[in-house]
Amino acid sequence: MGRPPHSLNPTAIQNALAIFSVDTSRGIQITPAAHLLEFLQPPLQTNRPTLIGAIGPRGAELAHHLLQCYPAATSIHALAADDSARQSFTLAELAQTARRWDWWHIPPRSKDSDLTHLVELIAQLRAPNGCPWDRAQTHASLRPYLLEEAHELLEALDAADSDAIRDELGDVLLQILLHCQLAAERGAFTIRDVLEQLARKLVRRHPHVWGGRQLGSPEAVRQSWEQLKREERGEAETSRALLDGLPKTLPALLQAQRLQERAARVGFDWENEEDVAAKVREELAELLQASPGTEREAELGDVLFSLVNWARWLHLPDIESTLRAANQRFRRRFSYVETRLQEKGIELSEASLSEMDALWEEAKLLGC
């Protein structure tokens, strides 16, 4: 019988290990290139050394694939066919070459890149000889930090700053791991339970990916997702109110958008955009006629609610981001006004409205 598909010759493996001078005392991953290329995310433990064989002409493709696991500057030891001397390249360089290769050896990444190591660090912070601040935290005390870190991540996303996004994702992950450690200490659940439940939920709620069901549009996927959620809760179609399940702590604009989306699903919606715009004008007129106090406050709320509805009809999927972008424009333009006044030796509090308006329009023309 021949070797199974994707298998490597044991003698060839030993020869490659000798040429690369690989220390296997702590274990090594050995895999054919074709096996790794079967996966969207290469199934590698990057904190262990890796030997990849039978690469052939697919080296550039494999290198692009491995960039999901290793930095572009990772040094790779490579061995070409009929060559007894190894060569070294960065992963980025290998992604640009068409040469045929027999073997690659990838040294392990730092253990700091491993989730298990990070979980251990969090446990040490909470240990009796750990950090007094971390040991004092509870689920309740960590709540504001989770919210703060989420907002800092949103700011990084708005700025499209990859370095900042990476850092802020780490800070959000820290909050998640701290909550998991607190739960583990009281015997409720562990990070492994969270990962397991999430993986199973993703598969269960995507039958069109892993179950053979055909869903041809994002709306069909959304409806399927909601139906599966109801089935998981053991609920009948009408046993749960339509607007139940929305977190009451959602930001008000986002909550308004989600409420309107749910109502629209059952036909409680305007027939066209002109009617939505007319409703905004109607609510604004009522605000202008309202008496000061609670009546005016209520009418202003109705104006804001109707504007959110108009944003939905304009196909703006994230009204929170829309308003954040407007806030950022205001910051930039006002900062321009302030800076220009300072250059002219004029204090902001002493500038006239006409001077500030002129600089504001100048900022707009400059794209601020």
Instruction: Specify the fold of 115-203.
Output: Helix Hairpins (1.10.287)
Rounded Cα–Cα distance for residues 121 and 78 (Å): 34
Report the CATH number of the 252-313 domain: 1.10.287.1080
- Spans of all domains in the chain: 10-110, 115-203, 252-313, 319-365
Token pair in block for residue 238:
């009408």
User: Rg (Cα) of the chain, in Å, rounded?
Assistant: 29
Rounded Cα–Cα distance for residues 109 and 28 (Å): 13
Q: Name the DSSP letter for residue 349.
A: G
Per-residue pLDDT tens for 25-42? 888 999 999 999 999 999
Domain 10-110 matching CATH 3.30.950.10: the answer reads yes
The helix/strand/coil state of 50 is strand
Query: What pLDDT is stored for residue 225 in this prediction?
Result: 83
Query: What pLDDT is stored for residue 6 in this prediction?
Result: 64
Domains 115-203 and 252-313 share a fold: yes
Average pLDDT of span 126-133: 96
Per-residue pLDDT tens for 141-196? 999 999 999 999 998 998 899 999 999 999 999 999 999 999 999 999 999 999 99
Q: Please, what is the average pLDDT of the chain?
A: 91
pLDDT higher than threshold 90 for residue 276: yes
Strand 50-56 and strand 29-32: pairing? parallel
Average pLDDT of span 344-356: 93
Average pLDDT of span 268-292: 94
Average pLDDT of span 321-347: 93
Query: What pLDDT is stored for residue 26 in this prediction?
Result: 80
Residue with tokens 């909470």: 126
Query: What pLDDT is stored for residue 240 in this prediction?
Result: 66
| Class of residue 112 by CB neighbours under 10 A (exposed 0-12, middle 13-18, buried 19+) | exposed
Query: What pLDDT is stored for residue 295 in this prediction?
Result: 95
The count of other CB atoms within 10 Å of the CB of residue 303 is 19
Per-residue pLDDT tens for 39-98? 999 999 998 999 999 999 999 999 999 999 999 999 999 998 767 788 999 999 999 988
Rounded Cα–Cα distance for residues 95 and 85 (Å): 21
Quote the Cα angle for 261-265-268, to 5°. 85
Per-residue pLDDT tens for 219-258? 888 888 888 887 887 755 555 677 877 888 888 898 999 8
| Nearest alpha carbon to residue 52 among 97, 72, 22 | 22
Residue with tokens 């006044």: 341
Q: For the chain, what is the largest distance between any 2 Cα atoms, rounded to a whole number of angstroms? A: 91
Average pLDDT of span 109-124: 94
